[in-house]
Amino acid sequence: MTTDREAVVWTCIGMRPVKMGRVYVTERECRFTYTEDYLLTGLPGLGLIYPPEIVQTTTIVRQRTEFFDLLPPLQSLIPPRREKNFQRQLILSDLARRGIVPAAGFDADWEILKIAGHGGMGHLDFFENDREAIEWYSRPAELHLRPIPEGFGLSLKDFLTWFDTDSEALLRIIGPTPTIGGAIPKLLVSIPDTGWDGRIGFPRKIGTQGVTDAILKFEQTGTYPGIIELEGLALDLHEEAGFEVPRRWQTEIKGIPTLVIERFDRNAGGNPLFMETLYSIFACGDLSITHHYSGSYDAIGRAIDRSPIPLVLDRRAAKIHLLKRLLLSFATGNGDLHLENLSILSRDGTLAFSPVYDPTPMRAYSIHDMLAVMPFGNYGEVHFEEALVRFTRNLGFRKKELLRIIEEVLDVTRDYPERIEALKQLPGKNKKNLTGIVETLRNDLQEIR
């Protein structure tokens, strides 16, 4: 015996809050319908593959599976079901404090969404009903920036009392995204427009000037010692390679290495921009996508070229971006360029890959040491060089293009091994792992003629 569930989706993508549509979840299906008023706004919809101007008021219906209880853009708002997920744990313990102990699985997901499905990454805000939505938007975020207090120790309790406020208010600042709180706890905050100066505030809700939305990524030194400076170095390399990379600051909060990264899913005025991960986009269109590493890099290229609903404005530029990102991920020892680490962002009405995020050289840690999470050019059946050439051809480029990008990537990573050696927190054995891997890869790339 089950009861259908219902909820609503709102968005501030058009400067002020507006209801986008209604969600119903039955035992077997997830259903979503745009409201007529939303269609009149001409604004982007739930996801790229569900454009309001085509879908209109026809209900989008998807069978629930073990991988997706909800339409993928909504599923993306739920923190992953891993037991150690910080954000999940935080919300569940807050619920428990209020006497709500949902069954594990979708019951818990739904309760979490009701509390934390709004105010996070991207442009979708999920609420239990319209009343909750209106109430939430009408409570302006407190934008006072404060220095981080002395006793801030990053425990759950500290987080709950952090802004000297009730935990519900606090939950608003801990972002509900698929991966926020993935391996590393993160906090959504605002910082001064002029950059990090040690003070933080709540993230902006709706249009405010003077502050900038940012993410704090904290190091979990036990599992990934040195990861923050490593991510910092990888972001620098991507910028040097010509990619757009958000402003960022490396700092320490109570001795914990922390990366402060400006958010690119908000405009200067604080309004959300349309953003969707490739995972969500592909899962909407293809039921065989069940994990963030389903498919292949070749399939991403194919989708860029052939999707009946355009994923990007400039297809060639997007495919070059993909090829170069993959090559740089090899040369930096990343290995983890999966579908959730690639997103499409709409700026000034133009769809393109978002700025770079999460390019961390995970191969420095032996449990993550693999060349690539997804296949490319039948690598494995054919050797590295041949696979790269095939992948390049599948993207519709000549080998000459591959050689040109390899040249750029080798140039930008020229002194990478020395820069790894110069890191202060990464343990010696991780440095050795990573430099070894990188030297081998550089040699392999160099041999491609």
Binding footprint of ligand ATP on the chain (CB under 6 A): 121, 177, 179-180, 182-184, 215, 246, 261, 263-265, 277, 340-341, 343, 357-358, 360
Q: Which residue number, 111 or 358, has a Cβ lying nearer to Mg ion?
A: 358
Q: What kind and span of H or E run contains 214? A: strand 211-218
- CA 428 to CA 296: how far, in whole Å? 34
The 344-383 contact track toward Mg ion, x by CB under 5 A, reads --------------x-------------------------
Q: Which does 80 bind (CB under 5 to 8 A by kind): ligand ATP, Mg ion, none?
A: none
Q: What is the dihedral of CA 345, 346, 347, 352, to 10 degrees?
A: 60
Q: Which of 358, 272, 271, 346 is nearest to 311 (CA)?
A: 346
Q: Which helix (H) or strand (E) holds 422?
A: none
157, two tokens: 């309790």
Give min distance, CB of 166 to ligand ATP, in A: 26
Element (H, E) at 96: helix 86-97
Shortest gap between Cβ of 338 and ligand ATP (angstroms)?
8
Closer to Mg ion at the Cβ: 52 or 295? 295
Decide whether 159 or 279 has the Cβ nearer to Mg ion: 279
Helix or strand or coil: residue 219? coil
Supply the minimum distance, in Å, between the C-beta of residue 183 and Mg ion. Answer: 8
> Does the footprint of Mg ion cover residue 341 (CB under 5 A)?
yes
* Residue 264 contact among Mg ion, ligand ATP, none, beta carbon within 5 to 8 Å by kind: ligand ATP
* DSSP-assigned letters across all residues of 223-284: TSTTHHHHHHHHHHHHHHTT-----EEEEEETTEEEEEEE-SSB-TTS-B--EEEHHHHHHH
Q: Residue 224 and residue 427: Cα distance in Å, rounded? A: 10
Choose from ligand ATP, Mg ion, none: what does 246 bind? Cβ within 5-8 Å by kind. Answer: ligand ATP
Distance CA 125, CA 176 (A): 10
Contacted by 265, from ligand ATP, Mg ion, none: CB < 5 to 8 Å by type: ligand ATP
Between 203 and 377, name the residue whose CB sits nearer to ligand ATP.
203
Nearer to ligand ATP by Cβ, of 330 and 391: the residue is 330
Q: Output 152 or 293, the one with its CB closest to ligand ATP.
A: 293
By CB under 5 A, tell whether 271 contacts Mg ion: no
Structure tokens at 235: 């972001």
Evaluate whether 212 touches 160 at the Cβ level (below 8 Å): no
Around 3, how many Cα atoms within 13 Å sit in the side-chain half-sphere?
4
Rounded Cα distance, 366 and 364, in Å? 6
Q: Which of ligand ATP, Mg ion, none sits in contact with 277, Cβ below 5 to 8 A by type?
A: ligand ATP
Q: Which residues neighbour 128 within 8 Å (Cβ) at sequence distance 6 or greater?
A: 7, 8, 114
Choice between 355 and 377, CB closer to ligand ATP? 355
> Which partner, Mg ion, ligand ATP, none, binds residue 183 by CB below 5 to 8 Å per kind?
ligand ATP
Q: Which amino acid, one-letter code, is at 335?
A: G
Q: How far is the CB of 193 from ligand ATP (least distance, A)?
A: 16
Measured at the CA of 164, the angle between CA 260 and CA 135, to 5 degrees, comes to 90
Contacting Mg ion within 170-229 (CB under 5 A) = 179
**Nearest distance in Å: CB 286, ligand ATP:** 19
Nearer to ligand ATP, 261 or 328 (CB): 261
Which position's Cβ is nearest ligand ATP?
A: 182
Tell me which of ligand ATP, Mg ion, none is bound by residue 263, counting a contact when its beta carbon lies within the kind-specific cut-off of 5 to 8 angstroms: ligand ATP
- Footprint of Mg ion (CB under 5 A): 179, 341, 358
